[in-house]
Structure 1
């Protein structure tokens, strides 16, 4: 019999270790090892998504949502502005229907706001033409595509970095909070000039009173008359508005976790390969719907910053004086002159735009990630 080397003896000793215990213990050890191996085969492995995939998928998702919901964005911007406040006077506050039930009152006012929003869209179509419904779509897309690309890219990348640096590679609400805050601040800083131009173009009246020929003309006018810093008006409100994005990401991640846990409880694993097409579509719809619900809650909580941001981006008044000069000053002036309710001007078209926008955007983002991850 040939002699065995020390390495061979060592290997055999290691392999025989489970059998050195009693029969009962060794049997339990072998069964545990087999079960662990089976579990490993069942658990889905989630490969790390490449940063460029987040970037591209976010841009495509943002573009799809922006195109579909652009008319509502136009109405929202006009209702937020004091330029159109006398043109679009809501009848919700003049509603004569009274009820002791708060829910009935809220539902009735919401119905009026919904009808008025559709009415404004109809009036814009009749008076200014179909193309006017998509005013600002050019700079909106120019803003949305990089904004969503930067947001999803920054969030996905920093979430992975923060989890490895501060939480042993595990995700948590705190990690989501940090990543969402970083993504919000980075996006606001990079894209504020684009949103500035979009707002000015949307507030520009049609006909002989029109100020800007196009987005490029608007850019040149702002830089000439207000300086480069004029492109960053409303940035403080945008930073405040990043709270909305932070809250949305936190809620969305928690809802996704609930959906995932339900799936594991139902199927005993998280492997999509063993689910039917209908089940995968159902879970995708649930995740997309979660993004819309998260946006709905976040928007209601943080909406006043939207009005302040729009006012800060308005062009100066005719005598050269700027009415809204800062974040806190704008809050005080608007509440003093127009009341607290004005801080929610345009909320209905905002929700009608952002909720389906988020559903489309996050749903498209997830689909594109799946497709590009296979490339």
Structure 2
């Protein structure tokens, strides 16, 4: 094409191999999930109506004096999170703080692998075909939305099993060893199949699709903040590290605050039947019922535990992801220089 603009030249940073996105995402997701598992258990219970009903009169001692009064305000929510962690540790055992970790890891590793693989490679494909090889916020948005839909569809059954396990506080379902995480998961899988069929594994999928907006906002904001923080490059490894961690944590925090109600709706949709009755049957029905029975504030139930989990989780996950990609680029440079 004579007279046209010159073709874009490759950047100085070599693109990481596509498989590295898969490995880095899975490893980062695994480490983050293990570190923050107790907050995930608390968050799930606070989102659930079953837990709220069971503990409506909790803290009654002796003649019925409440020891844990309900107080409004976000700061009290963080205190409440600490109380719940203490109660689970005391009443159910320390291992109960890691309930659902088995299916969480089974879900997180492929979910993060798929998501980071689809996003990391998808943005390159979208940029090459739609934007002359250049990345921008629209490219990041399309890539993130596509990655979220693929990931949500593939992993929804795993999250249903995880939610059911975390809502179970009975002695017989209490995990006593790492192997029992997976044994409990298999028992729950058979129960869901027997009582609800295949459709039971896809409960909450509509809310998961709604949650694609969270991942999209997170990726777009992360890319933007990371670009801003790149101004620290060359000023020392510590500054670069802090900039990357801050970008990941801030992006996840903002995205979570904007889209959090979908988390509550998804948890309600995944709750088990009570006396053979399904209380929450659809996304809009669940939204209307929750607001009517509990008020709009309940759509932010478990927010403090959620933020205490996802912000450090994102920092751990993205630091490992970027570290592995950086290692891959260094290896590519060494091979290129050796030729």
The TM-score normalised by the length of structure 1 is: 0.78
Are 1:298 and 2:241 matched, yes or no? no
Kindly indicate whether the alpha-carbon contact (under 8 Å) linking 1:92 and 1:113 is maintained by their aligned counterparts in 2: no
* Structure 1 unaligned blocks of 5 or more: 1-39, 96-108, 264-271
1:349 to 1:92, Cα distance in 2 relative to 1, 3 A: farther
Are 1:129 and 2:98 matched, yes or no? no
Q: Tell me how far apart the structure 1 counterparts of residues 279 and 242 of structure 2 sit (CA, whole Å).
A: 45
**Alignment partner of 2:21 out of 26, 33, 54:** 54
**Alignment partner of 1:362 out of 314, 318, 337:** 318
Task: Report SS of the residue matched to 1:85.
Answer: helix
Give 1 or 2 for the bigger CA radius of gyration.
1
1:259 to 1:324, Cα distance in 2 relative to 1, 3 A: same
Q: Tell me how far apart the structure 1 counterparts of residues 153 and 97 of structure 2 sit (CA, whole Å).
A: 28
1:88 Cα deviation (Å)?
4.5
Q: Tell me how far apart the structure 2 counterparts of residues 92 and 246 of structure 1 sit (CA, whole Å).
A: 38
Q: Superposed, which structure 2 residues align to 1:334-349 within 5 Å?
A: 334-349=290-305
The count of residues paired between Structure 1 and Structure 2 equals: 306
Kindly indicate whether the alpha-carbon contact (under 8 Å) linking 2:16 and 2:328 is maintained by their aligned counterparts in 1: no
Are 1:66 and 2:23 matched, yes or no? no
Q: Superposed, which structure 2 residues align to 1:127-206 within 5 Å?
A: 127-206=91-170
Q: Please, what is the CA RMSD of the aligned residues?
A: 2.0
1:208 Cα deviation (Å)?
5.8
1:87 Cα deviation (Å)?
4.2
1:51 Cα deviation (Å)?
1.1
* Structure 2 unaligned blocks of 5 or more: 1-8, 59-67, 175-180, 332-339
**Alignment partner of 1:332 out of 278, 288, 291:** 288
Are 1:224 and 2:191 matched, yes or no? no
Kindly indicate whether the alpha-carbon contact (under 8 Å) linking 1:252 and 1:294 is maintained by their aligned counterparts in 2: yes
- Report the equivalent of 2:211: 241
Are 1:321 and 2:277 matched, yes or no? yes
1:154 Cα deviation (Å)?
0.2
Kindly indicate whether the alpha-carbon contact (under 8 Å) linking 1:53 and 1:373 is maintained by their aligned counterparts in 2: no
- Report the equivalent of 1:15: none
1:44 Cα deviation (Å)?
6.7
Task: Report SS of the residue matched to 2:274.
Answer: coil
- Report the equivalent of 1:350: 306
1:341 to 1:329, Cα distance in 2 relative to 1, 3 A: same
Query: Which of the pair has the greater relative contact order for Cα pairs under 8 Å at 6+ separation?
Result: 2
Q: Tell me how far apart the structure 1 counterparts of residues 211 and 78 of structure 2 sit (CA, whole Å).
A: 24
